[in-house]
C-alpha cells in the first residue's frame, strides 16, 4: 500500500512541477515566421489577429507580417527570404 502512495505522489509531482518546466522550454524556442500579404484586407486578417492575441507565441512561433506585391512575394519565397505568402 505504501508503494502505491509513493507512486501516486511521484506522478502528481511530475505533472504539477513538470508542466511549468515544459512551458518555459517552449517559450525559449520561439521561431519567427515571415509571411507576406498582398494587401490589407479582411481575407488576411487571421494572421494579424493571432499575433495581436498572442496565439502565435502560445504555439511557439512569432508571426512577422510583411506587406508586398504578389510578384515580389513569389520572388522572396523562392529566394527563401519569407516563409509563406497569403497570395493565391
Check whether 76 has a pLDDT greater than 90.
yes
pLDDT of residue 77: 94
Domain range for 38 is 2-85
SS3 33: strand
Number of domains in the chain: 1
Q: Is the dihedral of CA 40, 44, 47, 50 positive or negative?
A: positive
Check whether 12 has a pLDDT greater than 80.
no
pLDDT of residue 27: 52
pLDDT of residue 74: 94
Element (H, E) at 63: strand 61-67
Tell me the pLDDT band of 29, cut-offs 50, 70 and 90. Answer: confident
Answer yes or no: are the C-beta atoms of 71 and 58 closer than 8 Å: no
Amino acid at each position: 500500500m505504501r508503494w502505491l502512495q509513493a507512486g501516486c505522489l511521484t506522478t502528481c509531482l511530475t505533472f504539477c512541477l513538470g508542466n511549468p518546466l515544459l512551458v518555459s522550454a517552449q517559450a525559449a524556442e520561439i521561431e519567427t515566421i515571415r509571411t507576406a500579404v498582398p494587401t490589407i484586407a479582411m481575407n488576411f486578417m487571421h494572421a494579424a489577429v493571432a499575433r495581436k492575441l498572442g496565439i502565435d507565441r502560445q504555439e511557439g512561433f512569432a508571426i512577422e507580417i510583411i506587406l508586398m506585391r504578389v510578384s515580389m512575394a513569389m520572388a522572396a519565397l523562392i529566394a527563401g527570404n519569407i516563409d509563406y505568402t497569403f497570395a493565391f
